[in-house]
Amino acid sequence: MGIIKAVTGAIGGSLADQWLETIEADEMSDSTLFCAGVPVRKNDRRNSNRKGTEDVISNGSVVHVGQNQFMLLVDGGKVIDFTAEPGYYKVDNTAAPSLFSGDFGDALKDTFDRIRFGGATPYQQKVYFINLQEIKNIAFGTVNPINYFDNFYNAELFLRAHGYYSVRISDPLKFYAEAVPRNADRMEISDLQKLYLSEFLNGLQTAINQMSVDNIRISHVTSQGMKVAQYLSDALDTDWKQLRGMEIVSVGIQSISYDEESKKLINMRNQGAMLSDAAVREGYVQGAIARGIEAAGSNKNGSMAGFMGVGMGMGMQSGGNFMASASQSNQAQMAAQAASQQSKENSWKCSCGQENIGKFCSNCGKPKPAAEGSWKCSCGQENTGKFCSNCGSPRPEGSVCPKCGWTSKEIAKFCPECGTKLS
């Protein structure tokens, strides 16, 4: 018993009159994984097969296979033929299996050779359909927090993740043999969730832990959906792809939440990063002390007089000493940062490639090239503005050589002293 492609010329408006039975997939939605085939217009008056036996497919019947559908012909519990190609197929009890593999190639034929002798129920013929589309919008949520070591925070953090993922059946014969319950005529994605959600969540934890090993910051996990899907596919490859013929296509993490301890660690690290800036730290310290003194001065308790007499003086002295010490440290760091910034601004690159901050290259000894439009004052200071930054003298009119300081009231193109081009 097998299937052969029906002659397309005979398929038309008189389909029900031409063939004993026409079988199509039962209602298949975008969340249906597997369903049985049902006769089209079974009780139609034009259907001549009125004496057919239940669960027996009449010889000469036609099976209609739609796009993204995989059809299995089962006899006595054995998969005896299949097709992954859309079209019309005639059931022929005298034909050998045709095995229309479509885009799956020889992989399905190898699987067929391994499972076709399974089952033992005699005298039962069935047509089943498997959905080959990507099954989307499968919701998931972690029940328990997942540990995640973040190298940026240098801490073990714990998170919960919620979102959606999608699957695709990559080996329908294997899926039918291993994932579909026996004697089932329908399987929805909700049934899959009940069976394998715990495995998915275990794979999710493995995937997220792998992201930690790859040094991906915890705050970037939500933007790494495709990478999570790849990690999940690797983690679930044995149980899902190799054993059950299905695979993870994509994972969309919609939200990540942290437990309270993780939130405290993240906030502490972020605050520390901000306070590493001397200017921010200076403002924070002075603001904190000012708020403390203001709070002490507004105290209306009976100890106010004593505090004002003795404690206030000691508190002010202690606060003042701390503020002076903190400010001195912060200002020293700000001065160092300003000096470093100024050094960067004054640096120049020689034609030999060396970075320098002085007037001569430390590698080849060439002088620092004059800035465009610069002039040299009589005091020796090089300037670019209209007045000397050292002595305040105005820029001489006419020509000024930026190299040797030669001046002239006349406009010259070259310096007569050193030959430097002036304009």
CATH for 135-258, options being 3.30.1360, 3.30.565, 3.30.2010, 3.30.479: 3.30.479
Cβ neighbours, 10 Å, residue 313: 11
Q: Are 44 and 16 in contact (CB under 8 A)?
A: yes
For residue 128, which phi and psi values (nearest 5 degrees)? Answer: -120, 155
Distance in angstroms (rounded) separating the CA atoms of residues 204 and 199:
9
Q: In the chain, how long is the greatest CA-to-CA distance?
A: 120
Q: Are 81 and 2 in contact (CB under 8 A)?
A: yes
Q: Are 214 and 147 in contact (CB under 8 A)?
A: no
What pLDDT is attached to residue 13? 42
Distance in angstroms (rounded) separating the CA atoms of residues 56 and 214:
56
Q: Pick the closest to residue 244 from 165, 180, 164, 166 (CA basis).
A: 180
Please give the DSSP secondary-structure letter assigned to residue 153. T
Distance in angstroms (rounded) separating the CA atoms of residues 54 and 91:
16
Take residue 86 and report the two structure tokens written for it.
């859309």
pLDDT in tens, the chain (423 residues): 677 877 544 444 444 444 568 899 998 999 999 999 998 865 555 444 444 456 678 788 899 999 999 999 888 778 888 898 999 998 887 766 677 777 776 667 667 666 654 444 445 788 999 999 999 988 888 888 888 888 777 778 888 888 888 999 999 999 998 889 888 899 999 888 888 888 888 888 888 888 888 888 777 777 777 778 788 878 887 788 888 899 888 888 787 777 778 777 767 766 665 555 556 556 556 666 666 666 666 666 554 544 454 444 555 555 555 555 556 666 666 666 666 666 666 788 888 988 888 788 888 888 887 666 677 787 878 777 778 888 888 877 777 777 777 777 676 777 878 878 776
Q: H-type helices in 247-311, by residue range?
A: 260-275, 278-297, 304-306
DSSP run (H or E) holding 195: helix 189-213
Q: Are 41 and 47 in contact (CB under 8 A)?
A: yes
Distance in angstroms (rounded) separating the CA atoms of residues 8 and 18:
12
Helix axes 260-275, 278-297, angle to 10 degrees: 110
Q: How many CA atoms lie within 13 A of 81 on its CB side?
A: 24
Take residue 7 and report the two structure tokens written for it.
């002659």
Cβ neighbours, 10 Å, residue 68: 13
Q: Pick the closest to residue 87 from 96, 78, 74, 98 (CA basis).
A: 98
What pLDDT is attached to residue 33? 94
**Span(s) in the chain for CATH 3.30.479:** 135-258
What pLDDT is attached to residue 147? 81
Q: Do you know the residue count of the chain? A: 423
DSSP run (H or E) holding 107: helix 106-115
What pLDDT is attached to residue 186? 93
Please give the DSSP secondary-structure letter assigned to residue 116. T
Distance in angstroms (rounded) separating the CA atoms of residues 319 and 333:
21
Distance in angstroms (rounded) separating the CA atoms of residues 54 and 75:
13
Distance in angstroms (rounded) separating the CA atoms of residues 234 and 229:
9
DSSP-assigned beta bridge partners for residue 32: 188
DSSP run (H or E) holding 329: helix 312-346
What's the gap between Cα 220 and its chain centre?
Answer: 7
Distance in angstroms (rounded) separating the CA atoms of residues 238 and 251:
19
Please give the DSSP secondary-structure letter assigned to residue 3. E
**Helix (H, G, I), strand (E, B), or coil: what is residue 61?**
coil
How far are the Cα atoms of 38, 74, 92, 126, 326 from residue 123, in angstroms, in the given order? 18, 10, 16, 10, 91
What pLDDT is attached to residue 152? 77
Cβ neighbours, 10 Å, residue 25: 22
Take residue 309 and report the two structure tokens written for it.
């007499």
